[in-house]
């Protein structure tokens, strides 16, 4: 079995379209979408694209998707920075009732058996214990080992921090898929191909036309998204420094 893991799309539809073209060329058997699908500039269109796929696709819920659902239900979370609340309200307003119904059915994690990777593979958004833990390739192993030991899986695939890595924590191989739609590092779209091993993939796409499509939306932060998430994303070094002060704050 060959699986494509697509995380943190953030409704960047041009990036998703480019990745799906690569996924089709690879002839994968299944897609796992790892959460944070809708917060971003093209939420309804992105949902429509994913739900219309003719490749078997499974979804899990990310913290951003969960917060959008809370917004639909009339609850504004203090976890969302004030500068992003208008955008989250906009995203919630763009989604149809059927979109929300589908989102509510997404689980927090998915477990698949892949003998080529040593047994069970757990797909979660952030860590096995919740959808908001922040850790990076630099986070001390002793802080992470108790969290990943409970996964009871040979491999854990995660996202949330938008930077790819492949590391071992205790006896568990932990792989971050990176972000399709909001990368930190070089521009482009990041994802994983799982089969006999795990391949970290990076798909380049036409950035300027994508930025124009995003600017043409009524998303409140369309210009910033086009500039900072498509054309000139923050560097990995910059984000590693930012995240260093927020590692595992739920411990």
Chain segment 70-117, per-residue pLDDT in tens? 999 998 877 788 888 999 999 999 999 999 999 999 999 999 999 999
Position 249 in a domain: no
Domain count, the chain: 1
Give the residue ranges of DSSP H helices in the chain.
13-26, 43-51, 63-72, 82-94, 97-104, 141-149, 207-215, 222-225, 236-244
Give me the sign of the Cα torsion angle 13, 220, 202, 30: negative
Residue 117 lies in a domain: yes
User: Is residue 251 in some structural domain?
Assistant: no
Structural domain contains residue 213: yes
In this structure, what CATH number is given to the domain that contains residue 201?
Answer: 3.60.21.10
The pLDDT value recorded for residue 250 is 61
The answer to whether 30 and 195 have CB atoms below 8 angstroms apart is no
Quote the domain boundaries for residue 13: 3-244
Instruction: State the CB neighbour count (10 A cutoff) for residue 215.
Output: 15
Q: Does some domain include residue 77?
A: yes
Which pLDDT belongs to residue 79? Answer: 79
The model carries a pTM of 0.96
Beta bridge mates, 120: 113
Q: Is 80 exceeded by the pLDDT of residue 174? A: yes
């Amino acid at each position: 079995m060959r699986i494509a893991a697509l995380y943190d799309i953030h409704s960047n539809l041009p990036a998703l379209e480019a990745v799906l073209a690569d996924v089709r060329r690879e002839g994968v058997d299944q897609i796992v979408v790892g959460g944070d699908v809708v917060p971003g500039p093209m939420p309804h269109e992105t949902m429509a694209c994913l739900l219309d796929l003719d490749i078997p696709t499974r979804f899990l819920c990310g913290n951003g998707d969960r917060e959008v659902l809370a917004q639909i239900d009339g609850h504004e979370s203090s976890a969302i920075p004030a500068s992003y609340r208008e955008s989250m309200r906009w995203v919630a307003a763009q989604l149809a009732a059927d979109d929300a119904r589908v989102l509510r059915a997404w689980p927090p994690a998915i477990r698949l058996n892949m003998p080529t990777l040593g047994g069970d593979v757990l797909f979660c958004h952030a860590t096995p214990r919740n959808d908001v833990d922040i850790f990076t390739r630099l986070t001390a192993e002793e802080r992470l080992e108790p969290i990943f030991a409970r996964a009871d899986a040979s491999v854990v695939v995660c996202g949330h921090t938008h930077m790819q890595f492949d590391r071992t924590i205790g006896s568990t191989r932990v792989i971050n898929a990176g972000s399709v739609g909001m990368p930190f590092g070089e521009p482009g779209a990041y994802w994983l191909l799982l089969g006999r091993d795990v391949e970290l993939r990076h798909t380049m796409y036409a950035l300027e036309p994508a930025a124009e499509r995003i600017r043409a939306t009524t998303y409140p932060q369309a210009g910033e998204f086009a500039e900072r998430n498509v054309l000139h994303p923050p560097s990995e070094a910059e984000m590693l420094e930012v995240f260093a002060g927020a590692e595992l704050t739920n411990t």
